[in-house]
């Protein structure tokens, strides 16, 4: 028999997360889905702590359950669900009472209870933050480790659903950007559709325009000669964007270069189908000449050479910087430049990921050692990097600043 219980009574305490079975966390997530996001009464099921059942219901099959108006928003100002972190001060709050008797409560009453809802959000946030202590336990089988990673992804999807707007799933948002052009002249105007994050693929973050892309787009427009330098005799200028997302950088480059009378071929790439669909819509809305292609960083095909490669906030996993380097090695002309800007996040799952860029691309500002027998070959290296401060009104709460990398082919030499 299915019971509707208060989340404070059934969510497993996170202070002993490493001791919880895979099934117990799966059951907790399923109970939250049944309570807050079920399309109909959930099927009867028996709670089990021994079996490892697959999660039966995908978030994409759910609809938002209306609830009374709340004052304020649970998510931050840019409307993008947070990665999930909780302070240690919340530890006691997140320890639910597992010994409570099961009560069959009115689900509508539970859904409208802000205390229970907020507790559920904090619990999911804490689960994601502490996931490493649960997914990488020494005494579990490798296949169990993989299942737990999938469970954490399910928790991320569920947290994103909780972070939706007050009464409806987050609607698409049309955003207009106005960037100054050079030292004067008519500003560059861009209109983009920021689509809601898809519930079936939490990695499709490209549906939103992120602060790093906005900051860099403004810089490109303000100083096009620096960021869109045109090698002598090159025509057309070839520009590639990795992880284009909503296409802000590609569309900005297209409009800017057209304004300057520069013949250019611009290619915007991403991986996720929902992102590519939204990207195509944005290109059509702005009536610019931008080609669109799917690109898997982990398995890049042979790529035509480009003069300029752009990337904004494209490092969300420790492997991403290595994959991106592999793509750039295949695609960047020897006299070209790769501009990369990433958010420096102070907490959460993406904390410190900017360091993986330093690991992937050596610092070439004073040269780097030549290996025996390398023959003075060219290597991709960081020529310049600059930290950029936050801008009021844009960016997530965990983004403390942004780091802009200028990466070029440099010859091997002895360090100065």
CA distances from 99 to 5, 95, 96, 121, 415 (A): 12, 11, 9, 21, 64
pLDDT of residue 106: 72
pLDDT-derived band of residue 76, with 50, 70 and 90 as boundaries? very low
Kindly report which listed range (99-108, 116-125, 402-411) carries the lowest average pLDDT score: 99-108
Classify residue 109 as exposed, middle or buried by CB count within 10 Å of its CB (0-12, 13-18, 19+): exposed
The per-residue pLDDT for range 215-225, each reduced to its tens digit, is 999 999 999 99
**Distance between CA 260 and CA 213 in Å, rounded?**
21
pLDDT surpasses 80 at 108: no
The per-residue pLDDT for range 206-242, each reduced to its tens digit, is 667 888 999 999 999 999 999 987 777 778 999 999 9
192's torsion region: left (phi>0), alpha (psi -120 to 50) or beta?
A: beta
- Please state the pTM of the whole predicted model: 0.60
The per-residue pLDDT for range 163-206, each reduced to its tens digit, is 763 444 455 678 899 999 987 789 999 999 887 655 444 445 66
Report cis status (omega within 30 of 0) of the bond before 236: yes
Pick 120 or 98 by higher pLDDT.
Answer: 120
CB 15 within 8 A of CB 98: no
Q: CB within 8 A of 67, min separation 6: which ones?
A: 111, 112, 117, 166, 167
pLDDT of residue 5: 83
The per-residue pLDDT for range 151-164, each reduced to its tens digit, is 988 888 888 888 76
Pick 137 or 338 by higher pLDDT.
Answer: 338
The per-residue pLDDT for range 319-378, each reduced to its tens digit, is 999 999 999 999 999 999 999 999 998 777 778 888 999 999 999 876 555 555 555 688
CB 7 within 8 A of CB 33: no
Q: How many residues are listed for the chain in this entry? A: 416
């Amino acid at each position: 028999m299915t019971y509707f219980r208060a989340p404070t009574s059934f969510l497993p305490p996170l202070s002993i997360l490493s001791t919880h079975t895979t099934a117990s966390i799966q059951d907790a997530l399923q109970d939250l889905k049944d309570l807050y996001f079920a399309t109909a009464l959930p099927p009867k099921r028996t709670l089990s702590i021994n079996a490892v059942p697959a999660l039966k219901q995908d978030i994409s099959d759910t609809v938002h359950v209306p609830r009374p108006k709340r004052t304020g928003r649970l998510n931050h100002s840019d409307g993008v669900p947070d990665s999930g972190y909780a302070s240690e001060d919340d530890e006691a709050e997140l320890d639910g009472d597992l010994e409570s008797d099961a009560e069959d409560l009115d689900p509508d009453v539970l859904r409208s209870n802000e205390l229970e809802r907020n507790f559920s959000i904090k619990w999911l946030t804490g689960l994601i933050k502490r996931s490493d202590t649960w997914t990488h336990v020494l005494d579990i089988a490798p296949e169990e480790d993989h299942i737990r990673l999938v469970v954490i992804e399910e928790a991320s999807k569920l947290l994103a659903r909780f972070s939706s707007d007050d009464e409806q799933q987050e609607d698409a948002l049309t955003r207009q950007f106005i960037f100054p052009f050079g030292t004067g002249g008519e500003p560059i105007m861009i209109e983009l559709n920021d689509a809601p994050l898809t519930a079936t693929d939490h990695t499709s973050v490209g549906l939103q325009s992120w602060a790093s892309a906005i900051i860099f787009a403004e810089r490109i427009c303000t100083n096009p000669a620096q960021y869109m330098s045109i090698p002598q005799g090159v025509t057309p200028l070839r520009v590639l964007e990795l992880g284009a997302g909503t296409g802000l950088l590609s569309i900005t480059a297209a409009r800017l270069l057209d304004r300057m009378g520069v013949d250019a071929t611009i290619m915007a790439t991403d991986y996720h189908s929902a992102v590519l669909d939204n990207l195509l819509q944005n290109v059509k809305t702005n009536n610019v000449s931008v080609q669109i292609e799917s690109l898997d960083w982990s398995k890049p095909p042979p790529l035509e050479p480009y003069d300029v490669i752009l990337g904004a906030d494209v490092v969300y996993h420790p492997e991403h910087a290595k994959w991106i380097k592999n793509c750039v090695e295949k695609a960047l002309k020897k006299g070209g430049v790769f501009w990369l800007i990433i958010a420096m996040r102070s907490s959460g799952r993406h904390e410190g990921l900017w360091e993986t860029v330093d690991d992937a691309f050596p610092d070439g500002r004073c040269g780097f050692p030549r290996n025996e027998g390398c023959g003075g070959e060219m290597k991709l290296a960081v020529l310049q990097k600059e930290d950029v401060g936050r801008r009021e009104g844009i960016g997530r709460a965990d983004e403390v600043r942004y780091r802009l990398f200028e990466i070029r082919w440099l010859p091997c030499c002895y360090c100065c």
